[in-house]
Amino acid sequence: MRAAYVDVDQMGMCYGPPTADNWAPEPVDDPGRHRIQTANVNAVAANLRDAGAACMVVSGVVDPEHGIDRTLLPDVDLTAVRLRADADELRRRLVARDRPGEPIEEDLREAELMDRLTGPCIDTTGLIVDDVVRKIDLPELADAAPHAVQAGELPGRILWIRGPREGTRSVVGWQLYRQLRLSGTCAAYVDLVQLGLLRPADAADPGNRLLRAANLAAVWRAFRAAGAECLVVAEPLPGTEDGIPGSGGAFDGPIV
């Protein structure tokens, strides 16, 4: 099966300039940026389907009060599975991540809200990753009709940073993105590899470059609609690509 992967965080990295009280202010009409993320998932799914993907796996956090807005996914046959864990287990995992400034209590309150959502749910308490994967029932897959990618002018500035995997491309790109926002610019950021995670690739597009270009245009269109004036794109040089996150080795430990 040809399958694709998307990290939903990559679908919404678009913020206005920081304020004195908030480094990452979110739109008043889209708290959590869930709407822009969902709309971008829909656009990227259409491009991935055109590229031959039979299935797209999306991971990430949804609106803790309302769940997924399916009206924003007209091109997606969605199977949603929520993963949860007991409060003590969640606290242990968050502490184990050891991220400076981690809002643990806020994360726990959000998890409590999510426990009120309906729909398929898997309790991951005490399980390792492989255990959870085995519990997920994959949907039956059917051939989907091609979806035409919409063309259109996308005015605005794009700053494209290229470099080797072991270099500083991502670090430089992220710092430039921060500087743009600190200067008062509404800016967005994309790691181009994340927009082309389809395996195996199409023989006509072995590096998934055409797919990445289509997805980049799709997310830039949504970011522009959200007010972004500039997009920073980080791309590895050919032959130094990062591949799928976490592909450096098998992981069979506890979920963190």
Averaged over 79-102, what is the pLDDT? 90
User: Which tokens in the block code for residue 208?
Assistant: 């998934």
Identify the bridge partners of residue 232 per DSSP, sorted by sequence position.
159, 189
- In terms of CATH, what superfamily is 157-236? Threonylcarbamoyl-AMP synthase, C-terminal domain (3.40.50.11030)
Helix (H) or strand (E) holding 163: strand 157-163
Tens-digit pLDDT profile for residues 92-106: 999 998 888 888 999
Check the CA dihedral 99-104-106-111 and report its sign: positive
Question: pTM of this prediction?
Answer: 0.75
Of the pLDDT bands very low, low, confident and very high (cuts 50, 70, 90), residue 188 is very high
- Do residues 41 and 8 lie in contact, with contact meaning Cβ atoms separated by under 8 Å? yes
- What are the phi and psi torsion angles at 176 (to 5°)? -65, -40
pLDDT the model gives residue 6: 93
Q: Is 35 helix (H, G, I), strand (E, B) or coil?
A: helix
Q: Closest Cα partner for 58 from 37, 32, 86, 31?
A: 37
Tens-digit pLDDT profile for residues 145-158: 444 444 445 567 88
What are the helix (H) ranges across 63-102? 87-97
- Do residues 5 and 197 lie in contact, with contact meaning Cβ atoms separated by under 8 Å? yes
* Residue 130, Cβ density class (10 Å: 0-12 exposed, 13-18 middle, ≥19 buried): exposed
The conformation of residue 79, written as its DSSP 8-state character, comes to -
Single-letter residue type at 5: Y
200 cis-preceded (ω within 30 degrees of 0): yes
User: Which tokens in the block code for residue 35?
Assistant: 């709407």
Tens-digit pLDDT profile for residues 15-32: 889 888 888 888 888 988
Helix (H) or strand (E) holding 236: strand 230-236
Lookup result for tokens 């991971």: 59
What is the maximum span of the chain, computed from C-alpha positions, in angstroms? 51
Domain locations along the chain: 3-135, 157-236
pLDDT the model gives residue 155: 63
Radius of gyration for the alpha carbons in the chain, expressed in angstroms and rounded: 19
Of the pLDDT bands very low, low, confident and very high (cuts 50, 70, 90), residue 220 is very high
